[in-house]
Structure 1
Amino acid sequence: MEIAVLLKQVPATESLIEIADGGAAIKTDGINWVMNPYDELAVEEALQIRAAGGGTVTVFSLGPEKAVEALRTALAMGADTAVRIDPQGNSLDGLATAKVLAGELKKGAYDLIIAGHRAVDDDNFQVGPAVAELMGIPHISMVIRQEVTDGKIRCTRTIDGGTLVLETALPALITTQRGLNEPRYASLPGIMKAKKKPIDTRALSETGTNPGEPKVRTIAMRLPPQRKGGRIIEGDSAAAKAAALVKALREEAKVI
């Protein structure tokens, strides 16, 4: 089975985010960049499917030179080959990103495409489903379990208050949700091998896809307001503290 995985490099969730001059982007100096956590699930699932039925795993990323680090992480985990598409300084929104990736994926013959259901930096949930739509293939999102048999994939996906089981013929695209698997750590031999593996890099202009003007652009960024410190309710007894708490909630916070 030929499997493609879409991944993105994002700031680590513990990074201190600051807004850059101009107010429409973040400061990138000093940020620890990592593979998007949901894309780690996608890489791991692809490796498990390959282990069960054979085939190859190719990872794709649309990003600057720094995105090579995330691709090498995927190679160290066990992916076979990696492709980086250089945006050449273009600012691409989710739909434009999907157009470029779909155009590149159409050049291959992939039975299954796997992507994280969202990236933790922009949270737009768009790229995976849009790639499937542009390629004209079925798509199942938020997958927490899957089984590939007889040219079909059966998935359990999360819905509000429960789960849903869906089945579709391959080729198809699925997006991953937490609970699907536990991504492996890259071994030292895997890391050493990944350093020697070539990464196929091509410019956006070489993909043959015109993403067009972005439909969405960032106008301004603002940090959330700082939360005020907590308050300790004083009182001589539990009953007195409870009465003081109720009074504060009613008269000050006005929530009851």
Structure 2
Amino acid sequence: MTDHATDSTVRRTAAASASLYFVLLFVVPPDGPPVETASSDQIRSYYTENASALHASALAAAAAGPAVIVFCAAIAQLVARRAAWSFWPPAMVAGGVLIAVWHWVTAAIEANIAVQGLDGTDLASVDDGVVAAWYAMTNVGHLFGDLAMSAIVLTLASMSWGCRHSEVLPAWLSWCGLSVAAAGAVGVVGVTLAVGPLANAWFIGLFGWTVWVPTVAILLLVRPLREVAGHEVHPEVHTG
């Protein structure tokens, strides 16, 4: 397979996985009752009435993990083919793996009660204190998700910087990605220090990432990239 054909295949793979990941991001369960005041009956009702949504969300998270990893790996390969010396591609893949872990852990916490029936457990027979403890773990999941913005910051920053220098993506999109990454980093600081105004920047990081992913997918398919036909790709990483 020629360099050009390989490049096209990688671009299509990145676009397809990014599109799938983008769609899966919207498969989320409805909010439950407030953790601080929810009674055991309210918790049981929530999981009973929203069982299908919780199962769907868990399944979506299971698929979103591989999708985002493939997306990041494909972008990393496109960058590495044009700049073998760059250390950004490994950072992209690492960021994708961390984002996948975020989706898996959060889904496991949210769907924990919903899947208790797998071993024959009847939710109605579970002690109220145990049910409340299981549900209280969702607050841990929320904080885990807040901290996981660090993984999105790493991914956005490495992709934006690497793609800017390798010309895989247009400069304007790279700068947008770096701006979103900066906002996400500020949001993480705000969450960890419990500073409300700074914490609000977290949402810029989340929504920016959600928009950035499909934008990359579209541009990979319609924007002409620098031709690699006849370009000799050196697999070794140059230092210095």
Task: State the structure with more CA Rg.
Answer: 1
Alignment TM class, shorter chain as reference:
under 0.3
TM-score (norm 1): 0.26
Q: Which has the higher helix share?
A: 2
Higher strand share: 1
